[in-house]
Amino acid sequence: MEALQKNPKWKGRKGPVVLVIMDGVGYGKYAEGDAVSDSKMFNLDAIKAKSPHTRLKAHGKAVGLPSDDDMGNSEVGHNAMGAGRVFNQGAALVSESISRGAMWQGETWKSAIAGVKKSGGALHFIGLFSDGNVHSHMDHLKAMIIQAQKDGAPKARVHILLDGRDVGETSALEYVEPFEAFLKERNSGSFDARIASGGGRMWITMDRYGADWSMVERGWKVHVHGEGRQFASAKEAIETYRKEIPGIIDQDLKDFVIAENGKPVGRINDGDSVIYFNFRGDRSLEITAAFEQENFTHFNRGTRPKVYYAGMMEYDGDLHVPTHYLVNPPEIDRVMGEYLAASGVRTLALSETQKYGHVTYFFNGNRTGKFDEKKEDYVEIKSDVLPFEQRPWMKCAEITDKTLEAIASGEYDHIRLNFPNGDMVGHTGIYQAVICSMEAMDLQLGRIARAVKKAGGVMLITADHGNSDDMYEHDKKTGAVSKKADGSPKAKTSHSLNPVPCVVYDPSFQGEYETGEGALKEGLGISSIASTVIHLLGYIPPEDYDPSVLKFK
């Protein structure tokens, strides 16, 4: 990797360039339900008032997703910011592989089918059960079931992770009931497809970054061993839990096992094949480890069945996990972090557990580890293991403490950090908690701004996608807030399609670029963050990077 060229127009700054990523914070489309604008963001407002700022696209094609109807997410958002360019992402790659028939011609699919045809066992599908298109998509699951039947698989069993996060918070039956009808149409004398187990995505299976392995253990017990509360159908399980736990939303629904005559219909047995059909990696690695690792210590797996396990994609390109996968991930190369390391830039990346992997692994193009051990430091602050609405401030103060230490030390040229509040608390749907999370984060923005000014540095504030800016469901035609039976607003827990901020706070400004109204370029996506950081560090971005927001004089 060649070093970046110095920018002769840059006059230099004494302090570091601090990139602050406010996860899940956008500009709301609707006044009602915009928790960001409803919050007292005094520090952010003050910084924007004296700094050039613009809006960036953070969804759809601007981050490599199939269409502009697709919500952005933290994975693709950090990929785009770190890569400086837009790469086709998981959803698009999987859809293309299916449409071309390439998936069915691959060795992984053929091996999964051959295994169950030989053993007479079941082809199991585990994954997020919705069309949110952030971690998975129902259409991919249906296509695989149809193809499995064509290819002669005798049985299919589906283990559903209920969403309520990237889609409506209580929309589970809108997916379960049509899917049951779909399976009924497929079933014949030679093919038997059924839902076997399930539960909410924040209760079982889909933990990430080792935050709560008990989630994975609960998922393992219901999916693999069929151990758990039994129901005759997924619909019965969902309706029962909703009656027993008033106000519970889909992502938190308890685990369940579908059984007949007291026996689970879909235990995972020797000779079966298992496909984890999420295409996004962060919430796929732990359940994959449970299936694949020999020396596994996170919980007692009991008897581990001998199965052929595959992921939808390769979830970790450096560790090559899983061993088998259906679709190749995007090959993201020449990311900003690699250029900075080659150029001698001293870098710190930090966040709490929930987003630590985003400012490291995803920001670095789905790469584990550092580009240069001597030039880079990574800091993870352990997240609380409890519902985020109970601690909506999360670890934003601790993240800021470490950031202030780093700024004062003079050891770093560039610091990037992620405040998870807007996203993680936004997903809870608890409006009051989101307001609290925003105002807690705003206090930290003020602290960082003061430290940056004292050090003679620059702060670039942005976000990876929207969420807290769109907390109520709205009628798509009229824009009116959707109401619950009691007349209260219906909470929205998914990401938004809204643009995100880009603010350049440069208190030691020396006149290199335009300032004032309309000073920054418009119509760009968050992939322009990389070139902007490189400019602020005094270098010239690579020619094929998306343009910086700065207009040099």
Tokens read off for 105: 């011609």
Helix (H) / strand (E) containing 20: strand 17-22
* Active-site choice (51, 74, 273, 468): 74
No. of helices (H) and no. of strands (E), the chain: 17, 18
Is residue 466 within 8 A of residue 533, CB to CB? The reply is no
Q: What angle do CA 161, 224, 317 make, to 5 degrees?
A: 70
Is residue 253 within 8 A of residue 203, CB to CB? The reply is yes
Distance CA 98, CA 140 (A): 8
Lookup result for tokens 């693709």: 76
Q: What angle do CA 303, 135, 399 make, to 5 degrees?
A: 95
CA atoms within 13 A on the CB side of 517: 0
Q: Is 292 helix (H, G, I), strand (E, B) or coil?
A: helix
Distance CA 537, CA 457 (A): 10
Is residue 346 within 8 A of residue 358, CB to CB? The reply is no
Cα 219 versus chain centre, distance: 20
Is residue 542 within 8 A of residue 536, CB to CB? The reply is no
Interstrand relation of 500-505 and 122-128 (parallel, antiparallel or unpaired): unpaired
Q: Is 351 a catalytic residue?
A: no
Distance CA 534, CA 548 (A): 9
Is residue 123 within 8 A of residue 275, CB to CB? The reply is yes
What are the residue numbers of the active site?
74
